[in-house]
C-alpha cells in the first residue's frame, strides 16, 4: 500500500500508521508510526486506452500490425507471411534485433502499434524511426511503466554497452520531442505523458521490485525522467504543470483525476506563475464537476490530495457529498479503501461518508477485499475515531478464516495497529496474528516501524504475549539501531514497559541509539521514552542526563502529560537536573495549571517530594501544590484479599497493625506496626508492583521516598513469596516474624 507516513498521532506511542508504514510502505500515507512512514496503496490508474478520448482511441495506435506488401512470387509471399507471423510472436529482443526490417517508408501509423511492443528496447526503437505526434508521444510514455512491470514475468534481454548507449540517445531524442511539442499537447496527451513518467519514477522508489531489473534500466532513465537520487526531474514536471494549467478548463473528469494522481505519485505540488499551486487550479474545476466523477476518479482524486497533504476543504466536502449520494455497490474495494484512507489522512472524518462506507462493507463479500484494502479501511476508522464495531467484527471474522501468508508485514501491522487504536479487542484475531509473526521469525521484510507497531498494538490492547515480545526484542537487538528513528525507539520502549516485560539487552541498545539521536527527539517522544525507562525501573543515568539540554530548550512544546511524565521520570531516576527544573519549568507548569488531571497532579506531587529529597529550593506554587497533594492523598484504592491475609497474620503474632495509614508525605501504606520501638511500614506488593521479580519504577520511588521523607523502614511482602507459603498459618507467622526481625520483646 502506498502507505503514508506517518500516520498515527498517538499520545503515548505512534505506530500507522500508520507509518515512509503504517501504512500503517511509504506509499500509503503518513501512519500512524506507520515511514519508514506509512504509505497508502497505489491506486490502479486508468489504462492508456482509458486516458485517451474516444476519437483518440480510434487512432492508428489501434490499427492491426504492419504487414509487408505482397510480392509477385507466391512462394516468397508465403515466406513473408511466415516471417511476419513469427515476428508477431517473438518476445525475445535478441530475435527482434536480428530481424531485418523491410525497406520502404515506415511510419507509426503503418508499423506495429506501441501496445504490441513487448520490451522497452523494442518500444524505443520503434518510436525513434519517425517524428511522433503529441498523441504518439503520450502513448509512448504511458507504455513504458507497463513494460517495466511486465519484465518481471518475462525473460529480459541484455543489450551491449553500445546498444544501451544508442537506446539512451534515442530516448533522450524522444524526450526532446516531447518538450518541444508540449504546447501542442491536448488534455489527454499531457495527462498521459505526465502519468507515464510519474509511474516510471515510482517504479524506482518501490524497493520491492526486482533489484537487478531496476539496476539494468536505471542508467537508461537517469537524467531523463529522474535525477541521481531517483527524484522526478523538477524542470520537466514543472513544464507539464505550467502547460496543463492553461488547459484545465477543457479537462474532463478523467484527465483531472489522472493529472492530480500523477503529481501525487512523485510527491510534488508545483507552484504556478501566479503563486497558486496546480492542485489549487485542479480543485477549482474538479469541485464544479464532482457529480460527474466515476468511482475510480473520485478515489484517485481524494487519494492524490491526501497524499500531498493538500487539505482543500471544499473539494473534500463536495466529493463526500457525491459519494454519500451514490450507490456504493458500484465502488470496487480499492475505491472504498482509498476514499476513507484519504479522508482520515487529511483529518476530515465526515461521519455520513464513513457511516455509508461502513454499512456497505459489512454487507459485501469480504473475500473480494485484499489484505491491503481491509487494513486501509480499518486504519482510516481507527485514526478518525469513527466507531464502527460491526465493521471491525466483520473484518476480524473474515481475517481469522484467511491464510495469513497473503498478508505482507505492512498489512499485518496496520491491521493490528487499527484494532489496538480503536480499542477493539479480539483475542482470536490477535492470537492468529501472534502465531503468524512468531512463525515468520521476523525476517527482514518486517521493517523497524513494523516491529515497533507490533509490540505497541499488543501492549495497548493488553495482550502481553511473552513469546511474541521476546521474538521482537531479539529481532531488534540483532539489527543496526542507527536505522531506527526516535518514534520507533520510544514506541518500542513504551510497549515493553507497559507490558511489564523487561529485556535488558533491548533497553541497552535503545538507550545507546537514543543518546545518539537526542537532537531529533520531539517533546512527546522524549516524554514517552523516559517514562518507559522510569516505569520499568531501569535507571539509566547516562540516558536521563543526555536529554536535559534538549528538554530544557523545548519546554514550551510539552503538553500537560509530557510535563508530568518528564517530572515523574526524573524523580524515579534520581538524576539531579537543576538546569532543567528551574523557574522555566515552574512557569511551564503554571501556564497549564488548570489543564492538569488528577493522574498528572499525582505525578507532580511525587516530583515535589523528590525536590525535598534533594534539598532543592524549587517548589510548586502553593495553589498547585495543594491540588497535587489532595489528588495524591485521596486517590481511590481497593484493599485486596492478599492484603487482608497479611493483616490477619500480623495480628495473630501479637502486633496491632494500623491499616491504610497516610504518611506525612502523602503516601498510603498498607499497614504500619511498631517493632522494637521503631515504626515499620509493611507494603503488600502484588504483581503490579513488579516487572518480573524486580520492583518497577512506582515501587522504587515509593520505598525510597517513604524511607527518606517519612523516616519509616519499609518491609515488602512480595506476592510470590507469600504464595509459596501454601496458606499454612504457622509458616506465614514465621515468615512475617523473620521479615520484621521480631523477638519476644516485640510489640
DSSP 64: P
At residue 154, the pLDDT reads 55
Name the β-bridge partners of 657: none
Q: What phi-psi label fits residue 674: left (phi over 0), alpha (psi between -120 and 50 degrees) or beta? A: beta
301 within a domain of the structure (yes/no): no
- Report the distance separating Cα 35 and Cα 314, nearest Å: 29
Q: Quick one: 650 and 599 in the same domain?
A: no
State the residue range of the domain holding 578.
Answer: 543-635
Number of domains in the chain: 3
173 SS3 class: helix
Q: Which residue is it, cell 479487542?
A: 425
Q: Which CA distances in Å does 556 have to 417, 487, 590?
A: 30, 20, 12
582 within a domain of the structure (yes/no): yes
List the grid coordinates of 342: 484519504
155 within a domain of the structure (yes/no): yes
Q: Quick one: 95 and 159 in the same domain?
A: yes
Q: Quick one: 646 and 611 in the same domain?
A: no
Convert the pLDDT of each residue in 708-734 to its tens digit. 999 999 999 999 999 999 999 999 999
Residue from 457, 311, 355 nearest 18 by CA: 457
**Do residues 267 and 4 touch, judged by C-beta distance below 8 A?**
no
At residue 56, the pLDDT reads 36
Q: Quick one: 581 and 660 in the same domain?
A: no
Q: Quick one: 106 and 208 in the same domain?
A: yes
Pair type for strands 668-675 and 658-662? antiparallel
61 within a domain of the structure (yes/no): no
Convert the pLDDT of each residue in 137-171 to its tens digit. 999 999 998 888 877 655 555 667 788 888 889 99
- Report the distance separating Cα 742 and Cα 728, nearest Å: 19
Q: Quick one: 588 and 619 in the same domain?
A: yes
What 3 state SS string does 445-504 have?
Answer: CCCHHHHHHHHHHHHHHCCCCHHHHHHHHHHHHCCCHHHCCHHHHHHHHHHHHHCCCCCH
**Do residues 34 and 8 touch, judged by C-beta distance below 8 A?**
yes
At residue 155, the pLDDT reads 52
719 within a domain of the structure (yes/no): yes
Q: Quick one: 609 and 736 in the same domain?
A: no
Helix 211-221 to helix 161-180 angle (10° resolution) is 60
Pair type for strands 713-718 and 668-675? unpaired
483 within a domain of the structure (yes/no): no
The ranges of the chain with pLDDT < 70 are 1-113, 130, 152-159, 206-216, 228-229, 743-747
Of the residues 591, 613, 635, which one is the last residue of a structural domain?
Answer: 635
At residue 743, the pLDDT reads 58
At residue 745, the pLDDT reads 43
Q: Which DSSP string do the residues of 407-460 spell out, in sequence order?
A: S-HHHHHHHHHHHHHTT---HHHHHHHHHHHHHHTT-TTS-HHHHHHHHHHHHH
- Report the distance separating Cα 420 and Cα 265, nearest Å: 30
356 within a domain of the structure (yes/no): no
Convert the pLDDT of each residue in 37-67 to its tens digit. 343 443 333 333 333 333 333 333 333 333 3
- Report the distance separating Cα 260 and Cα 279, nearest Å: 7
Q: Quick one: 128 and 207 in the same domain?
A: yes
Q: Quick one: 647 and 732 in the same domain?
A: yes
Of the residues 184, 202, 221, which one is the last residue of a structural domain?
Answer: 221
Name the β-bridge partners of 678: 675
Q: Quick one: 666 and 718 in the same domain?
A: yes
- Report the distance separating Cα 82 and Cα 67, nearest Å: 11
What's phi and psi for 713, nearest 5 deg? -80, 135
For residue 716, give the CATH number of its domain.
Answer: 3.40.960.10
Q: Quick one: 718 and 618 in the same domain?
A: no
630 within a domain of the structure (yes/no): yes
302's CB contacts (< 8 A; 6+ apart) are 315, 316, 319, 338, 339, 342, 343
Residue from 423, 348, 417 nearest 388 by CA: 423
Q: Quick one: 603 and 679 in the same domain?
A: no
Of the residues 605, 635, 665, which one is the last residue of a structural domain?
Answer: 635
Amino acid at each position: 500500500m502506498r502507505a503514508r507516513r506517518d500516520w498515527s498521532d498517538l499520545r503515548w506511542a505512534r505506530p500507522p500508521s500508520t507509518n515512509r508504514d503504517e501504512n500503517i510502505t511509504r506509499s500509503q500515507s503518513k501512519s500512524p508510526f506507520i515511514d519508514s512512514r506509512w504509505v497508502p496503496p497505489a491506486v490502479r490508474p486508468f489504462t492508456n486506452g482509458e486516458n485517451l478520448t474516444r476519437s483518440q482511441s480510434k487512432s492508428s495506435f489501434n490499427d492491426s500490425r504492419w504487414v509487408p506488401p505482397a510480392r509477385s512470387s507466391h512462394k516468397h509471399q508465403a515466406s513473408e507471411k511466415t516471417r511476419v507471423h513469427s515476428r508477431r510472436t517473438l518476445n525475445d529482443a535478441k530475435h527482434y534485433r536480428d530481424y531485418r526490417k523491410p525497406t520502404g517508408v515506415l511510419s507509426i501509423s503503418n508499423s506495429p502499434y506501441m501496445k504490441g511492443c513487448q520490451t522497452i528496447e523494442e518500444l524505443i526503437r520503434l518510436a525513434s524511426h519517425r517524428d511522433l505526434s503529441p498523441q504518439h508521444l503520450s502513448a509512448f510514455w504511458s507504455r513504458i511503466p507497463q513494460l517495466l512491470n511486465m519484465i518481471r514475468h518475462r525473460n529480459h534481454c541484455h543489450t551491449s554497452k553500445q546498444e544501451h548507449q544508442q537506446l539512451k540517445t534515442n530516448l533522450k531524442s524522444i524526450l526532446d520531442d516531447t518538450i518541444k511539442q508540449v504546447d501542442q499537447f491536448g488534455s489527454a496527451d499531457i495527462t498521459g505523458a505526465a502519468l507515464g513518467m510519474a509511474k516510471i519514477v515510482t517504479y524506482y522508489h518501490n524497493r520491492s521490485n526486482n533489484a537487478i531489473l531496476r539496476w539494468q534500466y536505471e542508467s537508461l532513465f537517469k537524467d531523463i525522467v529522474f535525477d541521481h537520487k531517483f527524484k522526478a526531474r523538477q524542470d520537466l514536471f514543472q513544464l507539464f504543470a505550467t502547460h496543463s494549467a492553461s488547459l484545465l478548463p477543457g479537462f474532463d473528469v478523467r484527465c483531472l483525476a489522472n493529472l492530480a494522481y500523477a503529481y501525487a505519485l512523485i510527491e510534488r505540488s508545483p507552484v504556478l506563475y501566479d503563486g497558486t499551486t496546480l492542485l489549487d487550479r485542479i480543485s477549482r474545476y474538479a469541485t464544479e464537476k464532482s457529480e460527474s466523477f466515476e468511482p475510480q476518479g473520485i478515489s484517485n482524486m481524494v487519494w492524490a490530495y491526501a497524499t500531498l497533504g493538500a487539505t482543500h476543504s471544499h473539494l473534500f466536502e463536495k466529493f463526500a457529498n457525491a459519494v454519500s449520494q451514490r450507490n456504493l455497490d458500484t465502488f470496487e474495494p480499492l475505491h472504498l479503501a482509498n476514499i476513507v484512507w484519504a479522508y482520515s489522512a487529511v483529518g476530515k472524518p465526515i461521519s455520513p461518508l464513513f457511516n455509508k462506507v461502513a454499512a456497505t462493507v459489512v454487507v459485501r463479500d469480504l473475500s473480494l477485499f485484499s489484505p491491503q484494502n481491509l487494513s486501509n479501511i480499518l486504519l482510516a476508522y481507527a485514526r478518525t475515531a469513527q466507531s464502527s464495531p460491526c465493521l471491525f467484527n466483520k473484518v476480524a471474522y473474515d481475517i481469522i478464516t484467511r491464510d495469513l501468508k497473503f498478508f505482507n508485514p505492512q498489512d499485518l501491522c496496520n491491521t493490528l495497529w487499527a484494532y489496538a487504536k480503536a480499542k477493539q479487542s479480539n483475542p482470536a484475531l490477535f492470537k492468529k496474528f501472534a502465531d503468524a509473526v512468531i512463525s515468520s521469525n521476523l525476517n527482514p521484510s518486517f521493517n523497524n516501524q513494523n516491529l515497533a507497531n507490533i509490540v505497541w498494538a499488543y501492549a495497548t490492547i493488553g495482550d502481553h504475549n511473552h513469546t511474541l515480545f521476546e521474538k521482537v526484542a531479539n529481532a531488534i537487538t540483532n539489527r543496526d539501531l542507527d536505522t531506527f528513528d526516535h518514534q520507533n525507539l520510544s514506541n518500542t520502549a513504551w510497549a515493553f514497559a507497559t507490558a511489564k516485560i523487561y529485556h535488558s539487552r533491548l533497553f541497552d541498545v535503545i538507550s545507546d541509539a537514543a543518546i545518539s539521536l537526542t537532537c531529533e527527539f520531539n517533546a512527546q517522544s522524549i516524554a514517552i521514552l523516559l517514562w518507559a525507562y522510569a516505569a520499568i525501573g531501569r535507571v539509566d543515568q547516562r540516558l536521563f542526563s543526555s536529554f536535559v539540554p534538549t528538554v530544557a530548550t523545548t519546554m514550551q512544546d510539552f503538553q500537560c502529560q509530557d510535563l508530568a511524565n518528564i517530572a515523574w521520570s526524573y524523580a524515579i531516576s534520581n538524576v539531579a537536573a537543576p538546569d532543567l527544573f528551574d523557574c522555566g519549568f515552574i512557569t511551564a507548569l503554571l501556564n497549564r495549571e488548570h489543564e492538569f488531571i488528577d493522574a498528572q497532579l499525582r505525578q507532580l506531587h511525587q516530583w515535589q517530594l523528590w525536590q525535598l529529597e534533594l534539598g532543592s529550593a524549587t517548589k510548586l506554587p502553593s495553589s498547585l501544590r495543594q491540588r497535587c497533594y489532595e489528588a495524591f492523598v485521596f486517590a481511590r484504592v481497593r484493599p485486596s484479599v492478599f492484603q487482608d491475609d497479611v493483616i490477619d497474620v500480623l495480628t495473630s503474632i501479637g502486633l496491632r497493625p494500623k491499616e491504610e495509614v497516610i504518611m506525612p508525605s502523602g503516601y498510603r501504606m498498607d499497614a504500619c506496626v511498631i517493632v522494637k520501638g521503631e515504626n515499620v511500614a509493611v507494603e503488600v506488593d502484588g504483581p503490579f508492583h513488579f516487572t518480573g521479580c524486580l520492583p518497577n519504577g512506582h515501587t522504587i520511588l515509593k520505598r525510597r521516598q517513604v524511607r527518606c521523607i517519612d523516616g519509616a523502614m519499609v518491609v515488602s511482602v512480595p506476592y510470590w513469596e507469600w504464595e509459596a507459603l501454601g496458606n499454612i498459618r504457622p509458616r506465614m507467622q514465621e515468615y512475617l516474624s523473620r521479615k520484621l526481625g521480631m523477638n519476644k520483646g516485640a510489640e
